[in-house]
C-alpha cells in the first residue's frame, strides 16, 4: 500500500517520492527514512530521491519513520502558557512535543532487540488527535467571542456603504477591460503565458534539469525568506505563481485607462490588500515554515494560536485586536515615559509637562514639543536610551511637552481651532510665565506639526512672535503628495466616517490604528497573524510597538475639519484655511524652520514634506533621515543605525535631492542640536519645573496619557 510523503531529492530541488510501506513478513532493504524526514522537516533537504521502503508491523514502526521531526526547535519567543512550554525536567535538549506511537511499555531498546529501527522521538498520533480536538474547541470559543454582545463587534464600522464603495471602485477597472472583449482576452492571455512558462520551468526542474525562476521575489520581502521557498519545487511553484498573479493584478490596474487619480489609487490599495492577504506564506498547507512547525508540534502551534486568537477577540470585545508585542512587559510611568518631570498646567484638552534639568546650566530658550493629538506623546519618551525627551534634557534644554487628553463624548464638539488655542498657544503662554517671558523653540511631530504650522500662521496674522524657531518631524503642510493614505480620502468615505463618529462623538483609536497598519500590512498585520495564530508564538516585547497599540480617540469635530481642510481640499497649502477667524497663510511664517523628512515614510512621504517646505516664508533647513515615520525620527545617537542627508539643492524631486545631498552616518539628533544652538547659544542657570511660579500638579507622565481608548 503506497504512502506518499514529501521526501526531497537533489537535481535542483526536492522531488516528492513514493514511500512504499510493505506488509509484515516482506523483506525490505535496511534504510533509515527517519533521517530523510528529519532533513525535510528541519532543513528542507534530503539525500535520496529513490522510493523509501519501510516495514510496517505496527503503528509504532510507522511512526518511527518520522524520527526526530517532533523535536521542537528553540524559539526566541516565550510559550503562551505553562502547559505549552517544553518540559525541561527531562533533558536539556529541546523537549519532545509528541510521544512514541504505540504501547507505552514498548521501548526503543526492545524494538532494537527485535532488529527494528524505532526512534524515541516520534509523531504522537494520540497527541495530534487531542490537539485537533482542542483546536475545534478553541475555534468555538473564537466564534463565540466574535458574536458576544458589547460596545463593538467585528462588524462594527463595516457598513454596506464601505462594501459598495470597494465594489464600485473595482467595477470601474473591470468595466474598462470588459468593454472590449479583445482587450480582456489579451490581458488574460498575458497571465496564461506567464503560467505556462512557470509550468514548463517547474517541469524541467522536476525532471532534473536546470531552470531559471520565471519571477523572483524582492530580496527585502521577508515572507519568502525561508530557504525552501526556493529549494523545493512545490513551494517555489506556489511562490512564483503568487508573484506572477500579483504582478499581473498590478499591471491590470496601471493599464486601465480613463480612471481618475483617486479611483486608481483606491483600486491599487484594495487589490494590494487582497493580494497580500492571499499570499501562500499566510496558510499552513502552502508555507514550508508553517507546515514544518505544524508537523513537528503535532498541531500544537495551531492550538496555541487559536487560544491567542480567542484572547485577542475577547480583549477587543468581539473585534480582533492583534497583539504586536507582549502588553504585560510595559507600563507608562514604570518603564515608558519615565523621564523625571512635573505636570505644571492642564486644561480639558492637554496637560503641559516640564522636565527636570540634569545639567547645571541650560540654553536660555526653552523647547515646546507638540505631538500629534491622534497619538500619545511618549513616542518621544520611550525607554531611556531611546527617549528624545531625555536626550534633549541631557543636552541642556528646558523641555516642555504637551500630553493630549484621550477624549470622550463630552469633547465631541472640540474642533481644530480649540486644539490650536488650548494646545500650543496656551502652552506658549505658560512657558513665558515660567521662564520669565522667554521666546521658545517649537517642535511638531506629524499631525502635531501640521497643527503647529497652523498655529504659527495664526500667530503671524496676529503679530505674535513668541516662537523663536520651528522644527517639523515628518510633517505635511501640503497634501498633494500625501501618499497611500489618500486611498481613504474622498467625499464619500469622509461622509461615511463622519456618520460613524457622530454616533459616539469621536473616532475610536483602533480605527485610526488600523488605517495606518493597512498602509503596511506585510509589516504590521500579516507577520503577527502568522506568528501569533499560526505559529502559536507570543510576540516579543518591543516598546515602540506597545506605543503603536496604545491608541487614542479623536473628537469628531477636530478630525472632520482636519481630513477635509488638509487632505481632501488641501486648503492649508492654498492659503484658504480659516481657523479661529483668521485665514492661514504659511508664507507669513518667517521663523527659521528645521524640516525633517524620513526616506521610507508611508504616512508623510518625503516628497510631500519636501514639496510643502517651500510654502514657508522663512529659511528652511531640510534634512532627510533613513528609515520610516517612527524609526527615522526615534533614532538615538547611541547606536549607528541609520544615516541622514542634508544640504541638498532646492529641488522638488527627492531622488535628485538625495543624490546631491551629503550623507552622514548615524543619528540626526546632534545635527539638529547644533542648529538649535545656532539660533541662540546663550545659557542660563537650570530651571526647575514650575519655575517657582506654578505649583506642580503631579509627576510626569501625568494622568491624561494613561487613559486607555
Q: Annotated catalytic sites, by residue?
A: 446
- 120, 76 in Cβ contact below 8 A? no
Q: Which residues contact 292 (CB under 8 A, 6 or more apart)?
A: 41, 42, 44
Q: Which residues contact 707 (CB under 8 A, 6 or more apart)?
A: 405, 406
CA–CA distance, 380 with 401 (Å, rounded to integer): 10
Query: 535: closest CA among 210, 80, 40, 120?
Result: 80
Cell numbers 477577540: residue? 313
The helix or strand, by DSSP H or E, that contains position 195, with its residue range, turns out to be helix 181-206
- Which DSSP string do the residues of 661-684 spell out, in sequence order? SEEE-S-SHHHHHHHHHHH---EE
Alpha carbons within 13 A on the beta-carbon side of 255: 13
Q: Which residues, in sequence order, are bridge partners of residue 52?
A: 19
Cell of 453: 504650522
- 457, 429 in Cβ contact below 8 A? no
Please list, residue by residue across 341-374, b when 16 or more beta carbons sit within 10 angstroms of its beta carbon and e when fewer do: bbbbbbeebbbbbbbbbeeeebbbbbbbbbbbbb
Which parts of 529-582 fold into alpha helices (H)?
543-549, 556-562, 571-574
Number of H helices, E strands in the chain: 25, 20
The helix or strand, by DSSP H or E, that contains position 646, with its residue range, turns out to be strand 644-646
Strands 620-625 and 367-370: unpaired
The helix or strand, by DSSP H or E, that contains position 657, with its residue range, turns out to be helix 654-660
Amino acid at each position: 500500500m503506497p504512502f506518499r510523503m514529501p521526501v526531497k531529492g537533489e537535481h535542483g530541488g526536492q522531488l516528492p517520492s513514493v514511500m512504499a510501506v510493505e506488509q509484515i513478513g516482506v523483506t525490505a532493504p535496511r534504510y533509515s527514512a527517519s533521517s530523510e524526514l528529519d532533513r525535510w522537516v528541519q532543513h528542507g533537504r534530503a539525500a535520496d530521491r529513490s522510493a523509501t521502503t519501510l516495514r510496517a508491523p505496527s503503528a509504532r514502526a510507522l511512526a518511527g519513520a518520522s524520527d526526530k521531526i517532533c523535536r521542537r526547535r528553540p524559539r526566541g519567543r516565550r510559550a503562551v502558557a505553562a502547559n505549552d512550554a517544553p518540559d525541561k525536567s527531562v533533558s536539556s535538549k529541546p523537549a519532545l512535543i509528541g510521544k512514541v506511537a504505540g504501547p507505552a511499555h514498548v521501548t526503543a531498546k526492545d524494538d532494537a532487540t527485535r532488529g527494528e529501527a524505532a526512534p524515541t522521538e516520534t509523531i504522537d498520533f494520540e497527541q495530534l488527535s487531542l490537539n485537533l480536538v482542542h483546536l475545534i474547541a478553541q475555534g468555538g470559543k473564537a466564534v463565540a467571542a466574535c458574536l458576544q454582545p458589547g460596545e463593538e463587534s467585528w462588524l462594527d464600522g463595516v457598513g454596506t456603504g464601505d462594501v459598495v464603495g470597494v465594489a464600485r471602485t473595482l467595477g470601474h477597472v473591470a468595466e474598462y477591460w470588459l468593454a472590449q472583449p479583445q482587450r480582456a482576452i489579451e490581458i488574460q492571455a498575458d497571465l496564461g503565458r506567464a503560467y505556462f512558462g512557470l509550468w514548463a520551468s517547474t517541469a524541467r526542474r522536476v525532471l532534473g534539469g536546470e531552470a531559471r525562476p520565471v519571477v523572483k521575489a524582492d530580496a527585502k520581502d521577508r515572507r519568502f525568506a525561508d530557504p525552501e521557498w526556493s529549494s523545493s519545487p512545490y513551494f517555489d511553484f506556489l511562490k512564483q505563481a503568487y508573484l506572477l498573479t500579483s504582478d499581473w493584478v498590478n499591471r491590470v490596474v496601471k493599464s486601465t485607462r480613463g480612471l481618475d487619480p483617486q479611483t486608481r489609487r483606491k483600486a491599487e490599495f484594495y487589490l494590494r490588500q487582497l493580494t497580500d492577504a492571499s499570499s501562500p506564506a499566510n496558510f499552513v498547507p502552502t508555507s514550508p515554515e508553517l507546515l514544518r512547525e505544524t508537523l513537528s508540534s503535532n498541531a500544537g502551534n495551531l492550538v496555541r494560536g487559536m487560544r491567542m486568537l480567542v484572547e485577542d477577540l475577547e480583549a477587543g470585545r468581539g473585534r480582533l485586536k492583534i497583539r504586536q508585542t507582549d502588553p504585560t512587559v510595559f507600563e507608562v510611568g514604570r518603564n515608558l515615559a519615565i523621564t523625571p518631570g512635573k505636570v505644571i498646567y492642564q486644561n480639558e484638552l492637554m496637560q503641559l509637562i516640564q522636565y527636570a534639568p540634569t545639567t547645571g546650566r541650560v540654553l536660555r530658550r526653552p523647547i515646546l514639543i507638540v505631538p500629534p493629538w491622534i497619538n500619545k506623546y511618549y513616542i518621544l519618551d520611550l525607554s531611556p536610551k531611546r527617549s528624545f525627551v531625555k536626550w534633549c534634557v541631557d543636552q541642556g534644554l528646558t523641555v516642555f511637552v504637551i500630553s493630549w487628553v484621550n477624549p470622550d463624548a463630552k469633547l465631541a464638539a472640540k474642533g481644530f481651532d480649540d486644539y490650536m488655542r488650548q494646545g500650543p498657544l496656551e502652552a506658549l503662554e505658560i512657558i513665558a510665565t515660567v521662564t520669565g517671558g522667554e521666546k521658545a523653540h517649537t517642535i511638531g511631530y506629524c499631525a502635531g506639526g501640521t497643527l503647529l504650522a497652523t498655529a504659527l500662521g495664526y500667530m503671524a496674522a496676529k503679530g505674535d512672535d513668541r516662537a523663536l524657531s520651528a522644527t517639523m518631524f515628518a510633517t505635511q503642510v501640503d497634501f498633494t503628495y500625501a501618499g497611500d493614505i489618500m486611498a481613504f480620502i474622498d467625499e464619500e468615505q469622509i461622509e461615511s466616517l463622519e456618520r460613524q463618529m457622530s454616533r459616539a462623538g469621536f473616532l475610536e483609536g483602533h480605527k485610526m490604528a488600523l488605517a495606518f497598519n493597512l498602509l503596511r500590512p506585510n509589516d504590521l498585520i500579516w507577520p503577527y497573524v502568522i506568528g501569533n495564530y499560526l505559529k502559536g508564538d507570543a510576540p516579543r516585547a518591543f516598546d515602540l510597538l506597545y506605543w503603536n497599540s496604545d491608541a487614542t480617540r479623536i473628537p469628531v469635530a477636530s478630525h472632520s475639519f482636519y481630513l477635509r481642510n488638509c487632505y481632501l481640499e488641501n486648503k492649508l497649502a492654498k492659503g484658504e484655511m480659516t481657523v479661529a477667524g483668521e485665514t492661514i497663510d504659511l508664507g507669513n511664517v518667517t521663523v527659521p524652520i528645521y524640516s525633517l523628512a524620513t526616506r521610507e515614510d508611508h504616512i508623510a512621504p518625503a516628497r510631500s514634506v519636501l514639496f510643502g517646505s517651500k510654502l514657508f516664508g522663512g529659511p528652511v533647513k531640510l534634512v532627510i533621515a533613513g528609515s520610516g515615520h517612527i524609526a527615522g525620527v526615534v533614532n538615538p545617537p547611541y547606536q549607528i543605525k541609520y544615516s541622514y542627508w542634508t544640504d541638498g539643492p532646492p529641488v522638488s524631486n527627492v531622488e535628485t535631492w538625495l543624490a546631491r545631498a551629503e550623507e552622514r552616518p548615524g543619528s540626526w539628533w546632534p545635527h539638529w542640536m547644533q542648529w538649535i544652538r545656532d539660533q541662540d547659544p546663550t545659557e542660563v542657570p537650570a530651571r526647575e519645573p514650575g519655575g517657582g511660579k506654578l505649583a506642580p500638579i503631579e509627576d510626569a507622565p501625568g494622568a491624561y496619557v494613561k487613559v486607555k481608548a
